[in-house]
Amino acid sequence: MTILVVGGAGYIGSNAVDALIAQGYETVVVDNLVTGFREAVHKEARFYKGDIRDKSFLCSVFQKEDIEAVMHFAALSLGRESMEQPLDYFSNNVGGTQVLLEVMEEFSVKNIVFSSSATVYGNTEKVPVKETSALAPINPYGETKRMMETMMDWQSKAKGLRFIALRYFNVAGAKKNGTLGEVRQRLIPMILQKALKDEAMLLFGDDYDTPDGTCIRDFIHVLDLVEAHILALNYLTNGGESQILNVGSGKGCSNLEVVQAARKVTKKPIPIKVKPRVKGDSAILVASNDKIERLLNWHPAQSEIEEILTDAWRFQERYPFGYRNDR
């Protein structure tokens, strides 16, 4: 079976490509390399550089490859950045998904596993968050994910598309050998970069309605998340119906608690400085995994915060300056 992975040079996408190839899938990668890295793509994957908004380019890939299913990771994904560049997010995320679905329809490809986000929930009052919780995104990134889900749902009803939207919570960690980690400015990579440099970590907001005043998030190991993608793919290709599923650890950890755990893992002091909270950040987001555990028999196996940090730290030490400037 040949799987197209769009956004397959990014952090989560490259880990998914690695797992697909390990399990014997023929794997094709499309990425524009704006936020992804060619170095992260498995050498056995067939790689095409291009943007999924370019319909003629995408059609040429489908013409060359006998694609049977798609994994969709191609999206801009920084909530704070989306508050400053909303149109970029709508163009890339929503516009790109529309073109992808059009091409899939043209080539009669029916199955897609899609990376959605817990940001579709916004500031939810009930924790843990269920898939039936109200959707109220508080930044353009979350809004684009909601729109992408809606687009797939209507395409499913109209044209028989079968999709699974996985609503990720906070993804971190790396491959066990210290490769395929996150290099962009997210909480755990930023903490570990500060540890390497013996610098202070900035925390935005200590006045949230949480026990220590900092945001609480649900952190999931990237390898657990990739396993959920493989199970979702198998579910669809075996005739399963469209679904929306949360994917998290089911446990909350505050930003301050993450820093404290990072101090233990890195054996670095990691001092903190507190800045005012940033618009677009929710106070608490923790997943209910009941549905995905029941439907796919998926369970997080590697998502304790210290294991996540240990694997991420191994990557950080190996690539202190990122893929292109490692020592």
Q: What is the DSSP string of 174-229?
A: --TTS-S---SS-HHHHHHHHHHHT-PEEEE-S-SSSTTSS-EE-EEEHHHHHHHH
Residue 76 lies in a domain: yes
| Range of the structural domain that residue 121 is part of | 2-172+219-247
pLDDT at site 125: 76
**pLDDT tens profile 313-325:** 999 999 998 886 5
Question: Can you read off the two tokens belonging to residue 199?
Answer: 């610098």
- Shared domain for 270 and 198, answered yes or no, is yes
Residue 326 has what pLDDT? 40
**Domain shared by 207 and 278, yes or no:** yes
Could you tell me the CATH number of the domain that includes residue 291?
3.90.25.10
pLDDT score, position 56: 98
Say if CB 315 and CB 276 are below 8 A apart: no
319 is catalytic: no
pLDDT given at position 322: 82
CA distances (Å), origin 95, targets 43, 186, 261? 29, 25, 39
Looking at residue 282, what is its pLDDT? 75
- The residue ranges of the chain whose pLDDT is under 70 are 280, 324-327
pTM score over 0.75:
yes
Q: Give the pLDDT score at 327.
A: 33
Residues 51-58: contacts with CB within 8 Å, 24+ apart? 51/96, 52/6, 52/96, 52/97, 52/99, 52/100, 53/91, 53/92, 53/95, 53/96, 53/99, 54/99, 55/99, 55/102, 55/103, 58/30, 58/99, 58/100, 58/103
204 and 98 fall within a common domain = no
Q: Of the listed 89, 141, 208, 319, which one is catalytic?
A: 141
Cis? peptide before 86, omega within 30° of 0 = no
Distance CA 256, CA 263 (A): 11
- Assess whether 8 and 156 both reside in one domain: yes
Query: Are 231 and 311 found together in one domain?
Result: no
Q: Which of the listed residues 247, 262, 288 is the one where a domain comes to its end?
A: 247
Q: What is the pLDDT of residue 324?
A: 67
Task: Please indicate, yes or no, if residue 141 is contained in any of the structural domains.
Answer: yes
Angstrom distance (rounded) from CA 53 to CA 32:
10
